[in-house]
């Protein structure tokens, strides 16, 4: 293995922690298929009357070995220049290029909009004018924003860690004291080939990552204390090229917010005539309206079916049926996930439950 992940934030306190990662694959440069500038929208909301306390932007770039660093570019976040040179903090060798990771403290930029302004997304612009193109591979944003009655506990790591066939990497996160909310563990990876499969495991959660490109893996480790996550890269049955996968981010976030609790009650799973049918109930057991309720039936990282329910009133119970094509599932599938997301006054929450198929 080559490279490492650095712990750039670890803390517990007031406010909500949030993380978003995008795979983009945008070629920057002059001539050919390259473009001198590109715009990227990062959909990470901030409710009104919130103060931004932490903002960390992390950008992954691949470049030919002939492109020396730092190279000249201009990076703007929300119209404000944050860099005129690319100065990577992390660099690893891929088969035919270098992977650079560049990390910025962008709290002053995010905070410049003021507490009274609600934000749905942030815009990043990259400008690079050179005959030797580079590729922006992924963009990640981690932030903490404060508002009364909110608490968080979070650990965020970023960097570049290379895994090759046969490698196994285990990371133990020792988060700050729990705050009493649901924990979400997010990992991001870049995989090199359609023939690659990696396994990400934490406790009883196991996600199979297959295919080529940028991948986001979400797990929900609810056991107290340390969180242990293992990434296995089994050797493919045939020789592949390129072979190197890159782990780019790990974020463990637990938030506690005064938003209505939703509970999931699985009722029945049916497989008939090539159709998979999952029946469940959702109950708003709080005293406030749950807004933007979204239900997703998921296998590994693939969304099989989605349903948007709008709002659930306090005490309301709704029945939901999710129907998917059973032929899209591997024959040995035994477990599926149901992910429910909702919000209150712009503050998001989520819950996941396991569905046994057989």
Domain count, the chain: 2
Contact 57, 141 (CB under 8 A): yes
Q: Which residue has the higher pLDDT, 223 or 174?
A: 174
Residue finishing a domain among 234, 256, 278: 256
Q: Residue 111 belongs to what H/E stretch?
A: helix 107-111
The stretch 250-272 carries a mean pLDDT of 88
pLDDT (0 to 100) of residue 181 = 78
Give the DSSP letter of residue 120: S
The stretch 25-50 carries a mean pLDDT of 90
My answer on whether 314 and 198 are in the same domain is: no
My answer on whether 45 and 172 are in the same domain is: yes
Structure tokens at 67: 């492109």
Structure tokens at 208: 């199979």
My answer on whether 297 and 196 are in the same domain is: no
Residue finishing a domain among 256, 280, 315: 256
CA angle, 156 then 298 then 47, to 5°: 50
My answer on whether 32 and 47 are in the same domain is: yes
My answer on whether 318 and 193 are in the same domain is: no
The stretch 117-136 carries a mean pLDDT of 94
The stretch 112-119 carries a mean pLDDT of 87
Q: Which three-class secondary structure state does DSSP give residue 195?
A: coil
CATH of the domain at 271: 2.60.40.10
Burial 13-34 (b: 16+ CB within 10 A, else e): ebbbbbbbbbbbebebbeeeeb
Quick: pLDDT tens for 326-353.
Answer: 877 776 677 788 989 888 877 778 888 8
pTM greater than 0.85 (yes/no): yes
Q: What is the DSSP string of 51-86?
A: EEEEEEEEEEEEE-TTS-SSEEEEEEETTEEEEEEE
Domain that holds residue 330: 262-356
My answer on whether 191 and 274 are in the same domain is: no
Q: Which segment of 47-56, 98-107, 174-183, 243-252 scores lowest on mean pLDDT?
A: 174-183
Quick: pLDDT tens for 209-231.
Answer: 988 999 999 888 877 788 999 99
Please check the confidence at residue 3 and state whether its pLDDT lies above 80. Answer: yes
Instruction: Output the average pLDDT for the chain.
Output: 91
Please check the confidence at residue 273 and state whether its pLDDT lies above 80. Answer: no
My answer on whether 111 and 248 are in the same domain is: yes
Whole-number Å distance between alpha carbons of 254 and 302 = 24
pLDDT (0 to 100) of residue 176 = 77
My answer on whether 69 and 130 are in the same domain is: yes
* Burial (Cβ within 10 Å: 0-12, 13-18, ≥19) of residue 170: exposed
Give the torsion through C-alpha atoms of 321, 325, 329, 335, to 10 deg: 10
Residue finishing a domain among 256, 275, 301: 256
Q: What are phi and psi of 243, to 5 degrees?
A: -115, -25
My answer on whether 179 and 294 are in the same domain is: no
Spatial CA neighbour of 188 closest among 87, 298, 301: 301
Q: What is the DSSP string of 295-329?
A: EEEEETTEEEEEEEEEEE-TT-EEEEEEEEEGGGS
Q: Which segment of 18-22, 27-31, 148-152, 190-194 scores lowest on mean pLDDT?
A: 148-152
My answer on whether 312 and 230 are in the same domain is: no
Please check the confidence at residue 245 and state whether its pLDDT lies above 90. Answer: yes
pLDDT (0 to 100) of residue 358 = 66
Quick: pLDDT tens for 41-50.
Answer: 999 888 888 8
My answer on whether 267 and 251 are in the same domain is: no
My answer on whether 159 and 18 are in the same domain is: yes
């Amino acid at each position: 293995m080559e490279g490492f992940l650095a712990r750039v934030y670890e803390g517990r306190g007031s406010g909500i922690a949030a993380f978003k990662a995008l795979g983009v694959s945008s070629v920057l440069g002059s001539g050919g298929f390259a473009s001198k500038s590109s715009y990227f929208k990062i959909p990470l909301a901030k409710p009104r009357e919130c103060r931004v306390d932490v903002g960390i932007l992390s950008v992954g770039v691949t470049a030919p070995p002939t492109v020396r660093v730092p190279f000249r570019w201009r990076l703007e976040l929300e119209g404000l220049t944050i860099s005129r040179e690319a100065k990577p903090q992390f660099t690893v060798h891929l088969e035919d290029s270098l992977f650079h990771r560049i990390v910025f403290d962008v709290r002053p930029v995010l905070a410049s909009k003021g507490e009274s302004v609600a934000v749905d997304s942030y815009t990043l612009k990259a400008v690079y004018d050179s005959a030797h193109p580079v590729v922006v591979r992924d963009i990640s944003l981690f932030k903490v924003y404060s508002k009364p009655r909110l608490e968080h506990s979070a650990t965020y790591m970023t960097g570049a860690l290379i895994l090759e066939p046969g490698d196994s990497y285990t990371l133990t996160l020792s988060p700050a004291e729990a705050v009493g909310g649901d924990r979400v563990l997010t990992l991001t990876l870049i995989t090199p080939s359609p023939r690659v499969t990696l396994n990400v495991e934490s406790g009883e959660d196991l996600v199979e990552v297959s295919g080529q490109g940028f991948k986001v893996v979400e797990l929900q480790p609810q056991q107290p204390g340390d969180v242990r996550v293992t990434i296995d890269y089994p050797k493919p049955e045939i020789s592949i090229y390129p072979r190197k996968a890159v782990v780019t981010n790990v974020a463990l976030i637990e938030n506690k917010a005064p938003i209505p609790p939703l509970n999931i009650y699985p009722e029945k799973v049916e497989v008939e005539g090539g159709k998979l049918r999952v029946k469940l109930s959702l109950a708003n057991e709080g005293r406030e309206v749950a807004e933007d309720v979204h239900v997703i039936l998921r296998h590994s990282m693939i969304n099989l079916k989605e349903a948007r329910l709008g709002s659930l009133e306090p005490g309301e119970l709704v029945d939901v049926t999710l129907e998917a094509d059973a032929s899209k599932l591997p024959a040995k599938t035994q477990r599926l996930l149901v992910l429910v997301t909702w919000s209150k006054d712009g503050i998001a929450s989520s819950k996941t439950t396991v569905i046994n198929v057989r």
